[in-house]
Structure 1
Amino acid sequence: LNRPKSIPFKGIISQETINYVIRNIIDRQTLEKINQTVVLPLHQLIAPSKNRRGHQIPRPQNSFVLYRRNLSAVINKTNDATNNLASNKTNDATNNFKFISKEAAKNWSKESNEVKQFYELLADCAKQVHNMAYSHYSYKPKHKKFKYHFKVLKSSLASQDIPWACPFPKNLDTRKKSCTSPKITSPIIEVDRNFTEYDKKVWS
């Protein structure tokens, strides 16, 4: 195989480069089966998706993300081919990301191992293309602020029947009180009671 003359940079990827990666990873017979399974052109499916949340580099696509992306194209293509009122009402739902993700998860669990293996191969291609487009990429997950986690934990505990999670009554005196020992009779009085008249005269 002839390597493409130009190497992509800064996220710019050519169809020639993607096809080169595909041919290096997937054999011809398997590639024919994949083309019968996938609706989107492979160079379009494997190319890194644009991040709409700013100028951040998108993450490499895994097998399920590729499967969901292809299913989205299938659903939209089906709705575009149908022009009746019922399909028009459904268009808003099918274009919804949550709806497509739910359908993809449901269908993915029912897919054969062969189909899943196809998407694993495509994911390997997508990862290599991503590395060529963003050579300095490193995944850095964002950690949510501690205050947010504390607020969620506090509201969760308050909703449960836990005594120490409930607020104290306003009229409750929470000041520390000194610990007092049980009241005992004075020892002098006890001794005085046991003395006889004779003893008193002796000690006086």
Structure 2
Amino acid sequence: GIGEGCYIDGNLSNACFNGPSGVAILQLGSDTLVLVSEVGNHVVRYINVISLQVGTLAGSGYVGFADGEARAAMFNHPIALATSPDNSIVLIADGFNHRVRSFNVSNMSISTLAGDGGAGFQDGIGTDAKFNFPSALSFFGDGTKVAVTDMYNNKIRIITLDSKLVTTLPIVSSSGYSPDFVYPAGISIRAGNALLLVSPLHN
């Protein structure tokens, strides 16, 4: 990048970004791509670590909502990314669309995994569920579920991929204490399904 907020693909030294916020790795054939979600340009970009070329993986560059062919899709503040263990999909936390979107690697398309687009709180299947600014994602080790930080609901949500069922994770510490989360902003699933969480207001 060149250190200025703009939207230019091409050689890494000349490319520029606007609000890069989330990073994931995608192995695409022999290419290793660093994926970057961009809240300012409302797109998902990639950096090819071999050729050092920057391109756009998904998003038209216009704010809005549209599924379909990846480059024609529209996002509103895509803030975080997670690649499935088998590299078949990339999930996108589409913050102000209050949805979790899915990039299908095989056909280069975007679909909605969960969320109806309105801010709220509701468990359910797929677009019957509601989020209030999904802000981070992490796959469980077997790739069948993903954990989502639901920032303004102060909750951790779980999506089962095959059924698209969205549930809310009841978290109890080893001492029996049920912690509260204030604006959970980051999550990582570790060995044994242990959750690491970032809750900025808890320092």
Q: TM-score range by the shorter chain?
A: under 0.3
More strand by share: 2
Q: With CA pairs under 8 Å and 6+ residues apart, which has the higher RCO, 1 or 2?
A: 1
More helix by share: 1
TM-score w.r.t. structure 2 length?
Answer: 0.23
